[in-house]
């Protein structure tokens, strides 16, 4: 099963052969959890939202179009889930996210300097708008191709390049302002 493509496993699921979905869970649960974690900086919420993605994957699998790419599809779902939650809870959202706890977890470095740098990076990330943050999370932290990000955001590849560039520029300023 390891060598089968995401798209093949999903096509099987369309025919009600669900064994491949367990494999897709293994392939994506860590990345999706970290996607939510970097967006929300909330451990429990990220758990709930990740669970929600796989719940929808199972219940709404028939909405997957045979032959289309799986990764952008599931990230689009994840992104919708996050925005739904964000809209509902926007008034409750803490303006100043506490990143120190997560930065600890993100940095298992012995090297104190690097640890501090990662801490500062997370702080700078948390100051970016969600739109800028999600572009960087997908393209930089999760190593997605620009074509894939473009599909998730439903825009052109060159638009993604511009978004990444702008987000990086702002992040750089925020980061080095702290140093």
Report the half-sphere exposure of 122 (CA within 13 A, side-chain side): 23
What's the maximum distance between 2 C-alpha atoms anywhere in the chain?
A: 55
Q: How far is the CB of 74 from other proteins (least distance, A)?
A: 13
Element (H, E) at 155: none
Residue 47 touching other proteins (CB under 8 A): yes
Residue 21 touching other proteins (CB under 8 A): yes
Contacting range for other proteins; rule: CB under 8 A; set: 2-10, 48-56, 66-74, 89-97 = 48-56
Q: How far is the CB of 89 from other proteins (least distance, A)?
A: 20
Q: What gap in Å lies between CA 152 and CA 20, rounded to an integer?
A: 23
* Token pair recorded at residue 93: 């959202």
Q: Long-range CB contacts (< 8 A, 24+ apart) of 19-25?
A: 21/57, 21/58, 21/61, 24/57, 24/70, 24/74, 25/54
Q: What gap in Å lies between CA 56 and CA 17, rounded to an integer?
A: 16
Per-residue x/- track, 92-111, other proteins (CB under 8 A): ----------x--xxxx---
Residue 141 touching other proteins (CB under 8 A): yes
**Identified binder of other proteins from the candidate list 77, 121, 144, 150, rule CB under 8 A:** 121
Q: How far is the CB of 165 from other proteins (least distance, A)?
A: 5
The footprint of other proteins (CB under 8 A) covers 16, 18, 21-22, 25, 29-31, 33-34, 37, 46-47, 50-51, 54-55, 58, 102, 105-108, 114, 117-118, 121, 136, 140-141, 161, 164-165, 168-169, 171-172, 175-176
């Amino acid at each position: 099963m390891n060598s089968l493509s995401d798209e093949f496993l999903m096509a099987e699921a369309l025919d009600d052969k669900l064994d491949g979905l367990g494999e897709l869970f293994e392939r994506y649960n860590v990345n999706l959890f970290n996607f939510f974690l970097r967006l929300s900086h909330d451990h429990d919420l990220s758990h709930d939202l990740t669970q929600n993605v796989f719940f929808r994957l199972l219940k709404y699998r028939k909405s997957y179009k045979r032959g289309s790419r799986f990764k952008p599809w599931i990230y689009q779902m994840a992104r919708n889930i996050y925005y739904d939650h964000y809209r509902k809870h926007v008034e409750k959202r803490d303006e100043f996210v506490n990143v120190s706890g997560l930065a600890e977890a993100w940095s298992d470095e012995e090297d104190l300097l690097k640890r501090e740098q990662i801490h500062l990076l997370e702080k700078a990330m948390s100051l970016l708008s969600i739109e800028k943050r999600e572009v960087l999370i997908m393209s930089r932290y999760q190593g997605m191709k620009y074509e894939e990000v473009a599909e998730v955001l439903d825009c052109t590849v060159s638009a993604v390049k511009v978004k990444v560039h702008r987000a990086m520029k702002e992040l750089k300023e925020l980061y080095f302002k702290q140093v």
